[in-house]
Amino acid sequence: MSSASHDYWVYIVTNKRRTTVYIGITNELRLRVWQHRNHSRPGSFSDRYSCGVLVYYEQFRDVKAAIAREKQLKGWRREKKNRLIESLNPQWNDLAADWFDDFG
């Protein structure tokens, strides 16, 4: 059995007004952001609050480390999450703005 290495991302998406943030983990960041933007999981938290703007992500090689980081971030108060986003993305720019043609 081969042990293929994978990449994992812990990411934060928000809505266009930045009133809500969603934190998740994935091994296919581009696909997952597309799913958020296209409401592929009706009724989910990110769907209800229209979270499809990618404002932050971290890459991991170890899934356990990624899961631990996701749990850590989810446990933070909103102000601390905001500071984390702003430490790397001060303007809350959409980091996936040029990934898709159909989200405006």
pLDDT mean over 45-53 = 90
Q: Tens digits of per-residue pLDDT, 51-102?
A: 999 999 999 999 999 999 999 999 999 999 999 999 999 999 999 999 987 5
Tokens of 14: 């928000």
Q: Does domain 8-88 have CATH number 3.40.1440.10?
A: yes
Longest dimension (CA), the chain: 47
Model pTM score: 0.89
The domain limits of the chain are 8-88
Question: Among residues 63, 74, 11, which one has the least CA distance to residue 37?
Answer: 11
DSSP annotation string for 9-27: EEEEEE-TTS--EEEEEES
Instruction: Check residue 39 and give its pLDDT.
Output: 87
